[in-house]
């Protein structure tokens, strides 16, 4: 999957889903900041209120991929799609099962940062999500970037 293909699909999603209540995260977000050389997929986070609507729109745009229950991820809304070989994941009401119960992440659309005509999530939010998802390599990678580029955090507050 080429960089332009992912960016093209992301741009098409802005047209499909509209400009509010969702944002891009994951490896493509990291790619947009130059942290990750190549995104493998496109992670979309949306509000729980719009999840079913966005899921329907995406199912008309891309092929639905069946999802099996994950041992610790317990998001209230989760769907996977494939478009031109690229995997898209739509999630809402993100929750992860921990030893002490469910831990939730609240997506706040007003924190979305528009860059290059794409709605991007805050890097600090993905740091929190990677910690929640127990992805130590990503946590370390993002902490290093944010510590080396403190102006990024200031610009996102």
pTM for the whole thing?
0.92
CA 100 to chain centre: 25
Residues facing 97 on adjacent strands: 102
Under the banding of pLDDT at 50, 70 and 90, the label for residue 127 is very high
Q: How far is CA 87 from each of CA 56, 109, 142, rounded to the nearest angstrom?
A: 16, 23, 22
CA 14 to chain centre: 14
- Report pLDDT digits (tens) over 7-24: 999 999 999 999 999 999
Specify the residue for token string 């831990």: 103
Specify the residue for token string 């993100």: 94
- At 39 the pLDDT is 92
User: Could you tell me if 47 and 30 are in contact, meaning their C-beta atoms sit under 8 angstroms apart?
Assistant: no
- Report pLDDT digits (tens) over 45-82: 999 999 999 999 999 999 999 998 887 888 999 999 99
H-type helices in 34-117, by residue range? Answer: 51-61
Q: For a pLDDT cut of 70, what percent of the chain falls above it?
A: 94
DSSP 73: B
DSSP 116: T
Looking at the domain covering 3-121, what would its CATH class be? alpha beta
- At 1 the pLDDT is 45
The angle at the Cα of 75, spanning 114 to 101, to the nearest 5 degrees, equals 125
- At 111 the pLDDT is 94
The tally of CA atoms less than 13 A away on the side-chain side of residue 69 is: 3
Strands 41-46, 86-92: parallel, antiparallel or unpaired by DSSP? parallel
Domain boundaries, the chain: 3-121
DSSP 34: T
Question: How far is it, in rounded angstroms, from Cα 45 to Cα 23?
Answer: 6
Q: State mean pLDDT over 93-116.
A: 92
Question: How far is it, in rounded angstroms, from Cα 8 to Cα 78?
Answer: 23
């Amino acid at each position: 999957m080429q960089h332009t293909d992912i960016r093209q699909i992301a741009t098409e999603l802005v047209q499909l889903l509209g400009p509010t209540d969702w944002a891009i995260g994951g490896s493509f977000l990291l790619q947009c900041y130059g942290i990750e050389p190549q995104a493998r997929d496109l992670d979309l986070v949306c509000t729980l209120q719009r999840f079913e609507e966005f899921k329907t729109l995406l199912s008309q745009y891309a092929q639905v991929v069946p999802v099996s229950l994950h041992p610790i991820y317990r998001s209230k809304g989760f769907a996977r799609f494939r478009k031109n070989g690229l995997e898209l994941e739509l999630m809402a009401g993100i929750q992860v099962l921990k030893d002490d119960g469910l831990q939730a992440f609240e997506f706040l659309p007003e924190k979305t940062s528009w860059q290059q005509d794409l709605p991007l999530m805050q890097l600090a939010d993905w740091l929190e999500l990677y910690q929640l998802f127990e992805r130590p390599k990503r946590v370390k990678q993002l902490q290093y970037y944010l510590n080396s580029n403190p102006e990024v955090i200031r610009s996102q507050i």
